[in-house]
């Protein structure tokens, strides 16, 4: 028997190393790694794969989809699907499973951590103490969080989880989406510009993709203003990073907490020099518990699709 276990093409390593091992145990997996010659492999063996596993971090380019003529199903590790080539997948009728819901708490926790750090100068104060500056000078006075206004751009699962945390800080919450949410207890503002003007803290939880690219523009940052803070746990593409660097450098906004960047893993080099920016390496979902839950959903989507033709949780293009 040539292949008793289904063949699965894995597009790069998974964000939870155990999942690489679990996939290899359950399936006949080939990892299309950066080191090998992927184009040659695809040309020679692409027709053997009906199933593919990838991640939001690795994405899935049209070039790879087009090289897999039998592809039926993709199981992606991540809630974001902007890095998967929608047109190529839809054109071919490939079904795509993903992992929403299980990471809302950890991403919302990270949004609050970045917000608190940016406002209270936690990372900067850590550097201050370690440098030995404490014995020579005073650390600067910081910004209060409790009772302030929190604007959420993208009031979906993660945005509303952030809003629940904000209640614990007695913050007033408003949001902007394309449309208001029926029954929402929060103030809806019809434009991002209005939301930024209203907010002390503007948190981005909107999905990435062409429709949100650079919506956080110079104009929006100016509306946030010199006392305002930006937090981004969504996608770097939503923010015009060059405009953000300028706003941070010139003090046109007070600070930023960023888990995501336009060109990962290469934040704008000037961000690295700015003390009013807190930077994290896209790790909002990176806890043992959440990555495990995401891995389980990747496996479940794959198993279910092989068995029934339908993933447990399908991307809502």
Beta-carbon contacts of 166 under 8 Å, excluding residues fewer than 6 positions away, are 112, 150, 173
Largest Cα–Cα separation, the chain: 74
Give the nearer residue to ligand DGY in terms of CB position, either 171 or 234: 234
Give the nearer residue to ligand DGY in terms of CB position, either 64 or 253: 64
Give the nearer residue to ligand DGY in terms of CB position, either 46 or 100: 100
If binding is defined by CB under 6 A, does position 154 make contact with ligand DGY? no
Catalytically annotated residue among 144, 264, 289, 310: 264
Q: What's the gap between Cα 279 and its chain centre?
A: 14
Residues 217 and 247: beta-carbon distance below 8 Å = no
Nearest distance, CB of residue 59 and ligand DGY, angstroms = 9
Q: Which stretch binds ligand DGY (CB under 6 A): 78-86, 144-152, 219-227, 249-257?
A: 78-86
Nearest distance, CB of residue 55 and ligand DGY, angstroms = 7
- Long-range CB contacts for residues 147-150, cutoff 8 Å, separation at least 24: 147/171, 147/172, 148/172, 148/200, 148/201, 149/173, 149/174, 149/198, 149/199, 149/200, 149/201, 150/115, 150/174, 150/199, 150/200, 150/201, 150/203
If binding is defined by CB under 6 A, does position 78 make contact with ligand DGY? yes
Q: Name the phi and psi angles at 84, rounded to 5.
A: -95, 135
Q: Kindly provide the residue ranges of all beta strands, DSSP E only, lying in 71-167, ordered along the sequence.
A: 73-77, 95-97, 149-153
The verdict on whether 235 is a catalytic residue reads yes
Which has the closest alpha carbon to 183: 150, 155, 206?
155
If binding is defined by CB under 6 A, does position 79 make contact with ligand DGY? yes
Considering only 26, 45, 50, 57, the residue that binds ligand DGY (CB under 6 A) is 57
**Binding residues for ligand DGY restricted to 228-257, rule: CB under 6 A:** none
Catalytically annotated residue among 176, 186, 268, 282: 282
Q: Which stretch binds ligand DGY (CB under 6 A): 74-82, 131-139, 242-250, 266-274?
A: 74-82
Residue numbers at the binding site for ligand DGY (CB under 6 A): 56-57, 78-80, 103, 285
């Amino acid at each position: 028997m040539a292949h008793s276990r289904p063949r699965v093409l894995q597009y790069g390593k998974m964000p939870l190393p155990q999942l690489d091992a679990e996939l290899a145990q359950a399936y006949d997996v080939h990892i299309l790694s950066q080191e090998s010659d992927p184009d040659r492999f695809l040309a020679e063996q692409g027709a053997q794969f009906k199933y593919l596993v990838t991640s939001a971090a690795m994405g899935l380019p049209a070039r790879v989809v087009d090289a897999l003529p039998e592809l039926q199903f993709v199981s992606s590790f991540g809630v974001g699907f902007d890095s998967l080539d929608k047109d190529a997948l839809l054109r071919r009728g490939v079904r795509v499973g993903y992992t929403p819901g299980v990471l809302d708490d950890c991403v919302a926790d990270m949004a609050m951590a970045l917000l608190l750090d940016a406002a209270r100068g936690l990372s900067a104060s850590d550097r201050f103490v370690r440098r030995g500056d404490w014995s020579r000078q005073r650390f600067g006075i910081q910004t209060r969080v409790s009772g302030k206004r929190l604007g959420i751009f993208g009031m979906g699962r993660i945005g509303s989880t952030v809003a629940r945390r904000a209640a614990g800080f007695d913050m007033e919450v408003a949001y902007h989406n394309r449309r208001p949410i029926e029954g929402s207890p929060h103030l809806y503002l019809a434009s991002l510009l209005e939301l930024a003007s209203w907010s002390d803290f503007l948190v981005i939880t909107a999905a990435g993709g062409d429709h949100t690219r650079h919506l956080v523009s110079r104009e929006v940052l100016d509306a946030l203003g010199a006392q305002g803070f930006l937090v981004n746990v969504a996608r770097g593409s939503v923010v015009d990073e060059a405009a953000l660097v300028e706003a941070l450098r010139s003090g046109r906004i007070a600070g930023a907490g960023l888990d995501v960047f336009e060109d990962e893993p290469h934040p704008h080099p000037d961000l690295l020099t700015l003390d009013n920016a807190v930077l994290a390496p896209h790790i909002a979902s990176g806890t043992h518990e959440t990555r495990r839950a995401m891995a389980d959903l990747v496996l479940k989507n794959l198993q279910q699709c092989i068995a029934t033709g339908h993933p447990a949780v399908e991307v809502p293009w």
